[in-house]
């Protein structure tokens, strides 16, 4: 079978040069593997709870492309209310939601400013360029946090040599900086400045819920400075599918056109919207548990000399550790942990990521901590 037609296995690695099949092929292939594994690769791996499955089963549906789907409509209204925006639209994914926001805010061939490690730039295949003819100008943040003074000089002069600067995007929490919460005073400064100089502002709030829970600042307040916000139901909230984009009614009407253009119109979408609505109503008050679990994992990692916590802090549910090359690579760490039943991701050649979520309990976290300490400690002990 030609290489490009071979079925891909689930990746354990986003690290450059890694083969996603390599770590998997070393694993225990027994059918009940998933029952014993502690899967900390992402908060997207959760399975719907019985209550969520019941809500999905009972969902009232319509045709959301021809006219409307009542469950989708309820989800959109409720999301807009929670985020404090005029309107919201249900999206199949966070990536589509971000890309549509950028497209609607920017004219073709203009530029937006973003942090260099943000998901929009790093993990979405440069879709803004491929699909919308836009350019990103990246800025290096301190731990994923941008300062207004870094952005001010970046607006291009009105001159035919230059693209036009149109938009600034931020990410809260910041995925590649270990779930870092953006400092709200700086967010307000950046968005106020953007408005005064004629730029739009967009928030990638895939994990906004975590930021709200951990900071004690509600979603409305966190979203208020921005023209638009994208949120995900399929991450910490535990829904199987879906995201939403929120903003003014006029902006959302344009986003609806773009969603159709991108092939994101969904018919009886109430089936999946019901899971998202259930998650929004039932799972927003349980994040402190995930954050406590991440702190425990962070303590375990910090006690291992080969592991250094990226950014030296754990704000929410993500722990990123840089692996000392003297120990080995991130892929080797992932492979060894997997052999002991703990799944995590290699996100760079020397960095691994652990994410807590509603499908891992305290007992599993305690077990994972012991395994991480044994694996990370063992090889150093051998090499000295
Ligand atoms: C910060 C952030 N934004 C956007 C996305 C994209 O979401 P999706 O996987 O639904 O496209 C992710 C996914 O992990 C993310 O972490």
Task: Report the pLDDT value the prediction gives residue 108, as an integer from 0 to 100.
Answer: 86
Any atom of ligand 1 within 6 Å of the Cβ of 206? yes
What is the spatial distance between Cα 225 and Cα 126, in angstroms, rounded to a whole number? 26
Task: Report the pLDDT value the prediction gives residue 35, as an integer from 0 to 100.
Answer: 56
Phi, psi (deg, nearest 5) at residue 289 = -65, -50
- Which residues on neighbouring strands pair with residue 200, listed in sequence order? 167
Task: Report the pLDDT value the prediction gives residue 17, as an integer from 0 to 100.
Answer: 62
Domains of the chain, each with CATH number or no CATH = 7-36+286-383 (3.90.1150.10), 50-282 (3.40.640.10)
CA neighbor of 205 nearest in space, from 66, 85, 57, 349: 85
Based on DSSP, count helices (H) and strands (E) in the chain, helices before strands.
16, 13
Distance from the alpha carbon of residue 271 to the mean position of ligand 1, in angstroms: 21
Task: Report the pLDDT value the prediction gives residue 23, as an integer from 0 to 100.
Answer: 42
What is the spatial distance between Cα 172 and Cα 222, in angstroms, rounded to a whole number? 9
DSSP 227-267: SEEEEESSSTT--SS-EEEEE-HHHHHHHHHHHHHTT---S
Any atom of ligand 1 within 6 Å of the Cβ of 43? no
Distance from the alpha carbon of residue 95 to the mean position of ligand 1, in angstroms: 6
Task: Report the pLDDT value the prediction gives residue 12, as an integer from 0 to 100.
Answer: 67
Q: Per-residue confidence of the chain (384 residues) as pLDDT tens digits?
A: 444 444 444 556 666 665 544 443 333 344 454 557 999 999 999 999 999 999 999 999 999 999 999 999 999 999 999 999 999 999 999 999 999 999 999 988 899 999 999 999 999 999 999 999 999 999 999 999 999 999 999 999 999 999 999 999 999 999 999 999 999 999 999 999 999 999 999 999 999 999 999 999 999 999 999 999 999 999 999 999 999 999 999 999 999 999 999 999 999 999 999 999 999 999 999 999 999 999 999 999 999 999 999 999 999 999 999 999 999 999 999 999 999 999 999 999 999 999 999 999 999 999 999 999 999 986 654 444
Distance from the alpha carbon of residue 247 to the mean position of ligand 1, in angstroms: 19
Task: Report the pLDDT value the prediction gives residue 3, as an integer from 0 to 100.
Answer: 45
Any atom of ligand 1 within 6 Å of the Cβ of 175? yes
Task: Report the pLDDT value the prediction gives residue 191, as an integer from 0 to 100.
Answer: 98
Q: Report the predicted TM-score, pTM, of the whole model to 2 decimal places.
A: 0.92
């Amino acid at each position: 079978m030609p290489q490009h037609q071979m079925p891909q296995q689930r990746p354990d690695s986003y690290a450059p040069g890694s083969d996603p099949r390599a770590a998997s092929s070393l694993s225990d292939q027994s059918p009940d593997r998933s029952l014993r594994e502690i899967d900390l690769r992402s908060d997207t791996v959760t399975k719907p709870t019985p209550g969520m499955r019941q809500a999905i089963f009972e969902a009232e549906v319509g045709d959301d492309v021809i006219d409307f789907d009542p469950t989708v409509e309820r989800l959109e209204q409720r999301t807009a209310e929670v985020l404090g925006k005029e309107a919201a639209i249900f999206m199949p994914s966070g990536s589509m939601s971000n890309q549509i926001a950028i497209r609607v805010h920017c004219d073709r061939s203009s530029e937006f400013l973003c942090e260099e490690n943000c998901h929009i730039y790093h993990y979405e295949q440069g879709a803004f360029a491929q699909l919308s003819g836009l350019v990103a100008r990246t800025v290096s943040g301190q731990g994923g946090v941008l300062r207004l003074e870094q952005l001010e000089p970046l607006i291009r002069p009105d001159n035919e040599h230059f693209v036009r600067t149109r938009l600034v995007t931020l990410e809260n929490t910041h995925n590649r900086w270990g779930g870092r919460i953006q400092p709200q005073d700086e967010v307000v400064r950046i968005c106020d400045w953007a408005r005064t100089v004629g730029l739009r502002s967009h928030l990638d709030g895939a994990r906004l819920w975590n930021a709200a829970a951990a900071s004690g600042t509600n979603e409305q307040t966190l979203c208020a400075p921005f023209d638009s916000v994208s949120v995900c139901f399929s991450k910490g909230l535990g829904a199987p599918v879906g995201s939403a984009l929120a903003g003014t009614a006029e902006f959302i009407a344009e986003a609806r056109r773009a969603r159709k253009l991108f092939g994101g119109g969904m018919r009886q979408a109430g089936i999946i919207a019901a899971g998202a609505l259930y998650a929004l109503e039932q799972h927003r008050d349980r994040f402190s548990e995930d954050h406590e679990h991440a702190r425990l994992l962070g303590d375990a990692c910090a006690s291992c000399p080969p592991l250094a916590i990226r950014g030296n802090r754990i704000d929410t549910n993500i722990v990123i550790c840089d692996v000392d090359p003297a120990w080995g690579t991130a892929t080797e760490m992932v492979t060894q942990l997997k052999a002991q039943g703990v799944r995590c991701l290699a996100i760079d050649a020397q960095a691994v990521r652990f994410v807590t979520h509603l499908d891992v309990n305290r007992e599993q976290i305690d077990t994972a901590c012991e395994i991480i300490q044994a694996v990370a400690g063992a090889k150093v002990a051998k090499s000295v």
